[in-house]
Structure 1
Amino acid sequence: MRVLALTTQKGGSGKSTLAASLAVAAMQDGETVAALDTDPQGSLAGWGKRREANGIAVERVEPAAIKGAIDRLRRDGRASLVVIDTPGYFGAGVALALREANLCLLPVKPSILDVEAARPTVEQIRVLGRPFAFVLNQCNATTQARTLDAATALVSTGALAPSMVATRSDFLDAMTAGQGVTEIAPKGKAAVEVRLLWQWIKAQLAGAQA
């Protein structure tokens, strides 16, 4: 069982939305997925309640109980992949979640403010000794120069997923419907981006050591 944690200390980075669509893409790729929401806002858990399709177990978990929840899933053999959505701040509970992660994914919007805001999270992840990577999220498809500037800044700090994710209405529609973008618009650009990102994450998890 592998654990993917989405984390960043800045709110509004699109963690929950990306976590939902990545969980669906992984399920469609043959993974048995469990999603754990440790964010007090409960966006991922709310998505799970709206979800009518089967295939993903979504659970609200207090940050202090995250290790117990993961141990239970591992013991029960109920999941091949666990996706964790964390709050937009760093604390003891987030640290507990990240310690369990085979990969920490940091969604970052392509702006200097968001790039700078990601640095404290990176420092904490390095202290914990966990593998991590950035993904440029909520990019504007028409402002490539800004995205490239952000990519350059992030590459100097750590690994960067080669698949960027643009701001598209499919993400909002999918969250509202309790679906992933690969379900609500399977042939859309958002679906293509998420599938590419998932395949990259899958490769990283395959080589990760717990």
Structure 2
Amino acid sequence: MKTIVIAAQKGGAGKTTLARNIAVAASQDGLRVLCFDLDPQGSLRAWWEGRQADTPAMLERDPSPEALRATLKAAHAKFDLCVIDTPPAAPEWLSEALGAADLALIPVRPSPDDLRAVGATIAAVNHARVPFAFALSQTPRAKITEEAARVLAQHGRVAPINIAQRVSYAETGATGQGVTETSDGKAAAEITAIWTYVKGILHG
């Protein structure tokens, strides 16, 4: 079983949006996917509880950070992928979660504030020695998006497709869907491309 941790210490970066959509896309790709919500806000679990489809899966209760590795080990035989959402902060246990991951995926909005704040997340993933990649999220069609990609590329891999600012990402948060399950073809293409990119890293 592969494990992806979605991490960003800046609030509003789009962690939960990325987590749920990656999980749905991977499920549609035939993988047995398990999600953990380690964010006290519980947005990923709230989305899942409003979902009609059986996949991706969640446990009856999310593991505590201390029990994360043991829970992952127990789930290893039943699932192909675990997607873990984390809080917009740097609790002491975050390094434990990152250390259990095969990949850390870091969503970043193309704004000066977000680019300044991403240094703390980069430091955390480097300390945990976990492979990582950036995904630009909530991107406008503007020069600042290209500039942000160039800045991030100095620190690590950047997904070759951006997650644009689209209403469907917000709407599916309320309906319990992934955008790949809606009629928004552009959003679906973005997430499918992100998942293909992530899958290539995990199995490359």
TM-score tier by shorter-chain length is: over 0.9
**Whole-Å separation in 2 of the counterparts to 1:61 and 1:38:** 8
User: Does residue 199 of structure 1 match 2:199?
Assistant: no
TM-score by length of 2: 0.96
Using the aligned pairs only, state the percent identity.
39
Structure 1 residue 67 displacement after superposition: 1.4
What's the secondary structure of 2:163's corresponding residue? Answer: coil
Q: How far apart are 1:198 and its partner, in Å?
A: 0.2
Aligned partner letter, 1:206: H
Structure 1 CA distance for aligned equivalents of residues 196 and 127 of structure 2: 27
TM-score (norm 1): 0.93
1:69 alignment counterpart: 71
Backbone CA RMSD of aligned residues? 1.1
User: Which residue matches 1:179?
Assistant: 177
Matches within 5 A, 1:21-170: 21-59=21-59, 60-74=62-76, 77-140=77-140, 142-143=141-142, 145-170=143-168
Runs of 4+ in 1 over 3 A off after TM superposition: none
Distance between the aligned counterparts of 2:145 and 2:168, measured in 1? 20
* Equivalent position amino acid for 2:92 in 1: A
State the secondary structure of the residue aligned to 2:138.
coil
Q: CA deviation at 1:73?
A: 0.5
Name structure 1 gaps, 5 residues minimum.
none
Provide the rounded CA distance (Å) in 1 between the counterparts of 2:93 and 2:127.
Answer: 15
Matched residues in 2 for 1:44 and 1:58: separation? 10
Cα distance in structure 2, aligned partners of 1:5 and 1:89: 14
Q: How many residues align?
A: 202
For the residue of structure 1 that corresponds to 2:57, the secondary structure is strand
For the residue of structure 2 that corresponds to 1:137, the secondary structure is: strand
- Report what 2:19 is aligned to: 19
Q: Partners of 2:69 and 2:185 in 1: how far apart?
A: 36
d(CA) in 2 for partners of 1:197, 1:55: 19
* Cα offsets for 1:53-93 (capped at 9, x unmatched): 1121124332222112211111xx11100000011111222
Q: Where do 5+ consecutive residues of structure 2 fail to align?
A: none
Whichever residue aligns with residue 200 of structure 1, its letter is: Y
Deviations 1:103-152 (A, max 9, x none): 00000000121011111111121111110111101111x32x01001011
Q: Which deviates further from its counterpart, 13-22 or 57-66?
A: 57-66
Displacement of 1:35 in angstroms is: 0.5
Q: Distance in 2 between matches of 1:190 and 1:184?
A: 9
SS at match of 1:89: coil
